[in-house]
Amino acid sequence: MTVAIHVDHLTRKFNDLIAVNDISFEIEQGEIFGLLGPNGAGKTTTLAMLSTMLKPTSGSATVNGMDIEHNEDGVRKSIGIVFQDQSLDEELTAWENMDFHGRLYRIPGEVRRQRITELLDLVELVDRKDDIVKTFSGGMRRRLEIARGLLHRPAVLFLDEPTLGLDPQTRNHLWQYIATLNKEHGITIILTTHYMEEADRLCNRIAIIDHGKIIALDTPANLKDGMGGDVVTIKSSDPSAIIEALKEPWVLRVEQHDGQVIISLKNAEQHVGTIVTLLNREQIAIESISIHKPTLEDVFLSFTGKTIREEEADGKAAMRMYQKMTRR
């Protein structure tokens, strides 16, 4: 397969803050690749470097075979990008936003008009082409931004938190567009997200990033399979006693988190009765017990010891520092 993006020991520092810490990966042409992690983990900084908006402190990367530092114009011509923050002109119509973007890329008039019509039709906005963007819903604006990012026929599309702040129905709708773009047009897509379901549903492979480092990289299925089977969660007033009581060969992993004990094992249905018996024998009270298949949240918890929501809460101060530094 052809490599669309190659990243080699990429690092970005802001004074004492290491926003991206020595990351390396490759993305194949036609792949949907996800950067999954909490806010402040380094996802947006990574995209900023790959799209040439931010120079790396060290390391290197190529996009479509072009070096991000030595061929900035070539990289920019070959990518489309949808920013986390809206970048549409709300006082222009949908058509005018698209047309202005096409003129910036010097797309000839007839070709530009044809592509605008095709793309507005693709994102189901052709009937609203003459409406002012400020009258659009959040989902409609996101779809327009994606259409605009595709106008110059980029080989790679960067999506930074594409469904942030959207309601579940609109989010699902947008996922369908992204999957269709990849499947029918062969566009390589790299997206950042902190939504587990989004990464699981869309991405061929996922790099879990935390505190600027990639802590796991594989397909969603392989990441979840790496948990070793099913997940049993037990809530009890004495989680340490549960851990001590469950030192059995069929228990693959036991972790304590937030007053709960999380157990990884194969064929949980066959062992849950044994678990209850063992805990009753040790007179350990069980408040609740549940069984589920591993999720990416379980994977993240296993690697970091925290949920993605807790990491976001802990990272607010670092995020504020990052935003302050990047405004300089």
Predicted pLDDT of residue 122: 84
| Residue ranges covered by each domain of the chain | 3-219, 228-293
- Render 189-227 in DSSP notation, one character per residue: EEEEES-HHHHHHH-SEEEEEETTEEEEEE-HHHHHHTT
Predicted pLDDT of residue 212: 95
Sequence-distant (6+) residues with CB within 8 A of 173 are: 139
- Neighbour count for residue 3 (Cβ, 10 Å): 14
In this structure, which amino acid lies at residue 256? Q
DSSP 92: S
Length of the chain: 328
Predicted pLDDT of residue 320: 55
The CATH-assigned architecture of domain 228-293 is 2-Layer Sandwich (3.30)
Retrieve residue 320's tokens. Answer: 């504020």
Sequence-distant (6+) residues with CB within 8 A of 41 are: 209, 210, 211, 212, 311, 315
Predicted pLDDT of residue 323: 56
Predicted pLDDT of residue 210: 93
Pick from 147, 195, 180: nearest CA to 35: 195
Q: What does the alpha-carbon distance between residue 234 and residue 303 come to, in Å, rounded to a whole number?
A: 20
The CATH number that domain 3-219 falls under is 3.40.50.300
Same CATH topology for 3-219 and 228-293?
Answer: no
Question: Alpha carbon of 51 to those of 62, 85, 105, 228, 264: distances in Å?
Answer: 10, 16, 16, 37, 40
Pick from 274, 266, 322, 255: nearest CA to 294: 266
Pick from 85, 90, 16, 46: nearest CA to 214: 46
Instruction: Give the CA dihedral 26, 30, 31, 32, nearest 10 degrees.
Output: 130
Ranges under pLDDT 50 in the chain: 317, 322, 328
Predicted pLDDT of residue 106: 92
Predicted pLDDT of residue 57: 97
Predicted pLDDT of residue 326: 52
Each residue's pLDDT tens digit, 7-45: 999 999 999 999 999 999 999 999 999 999 988 899 999
Predicted pLDDT of residue 313: 61
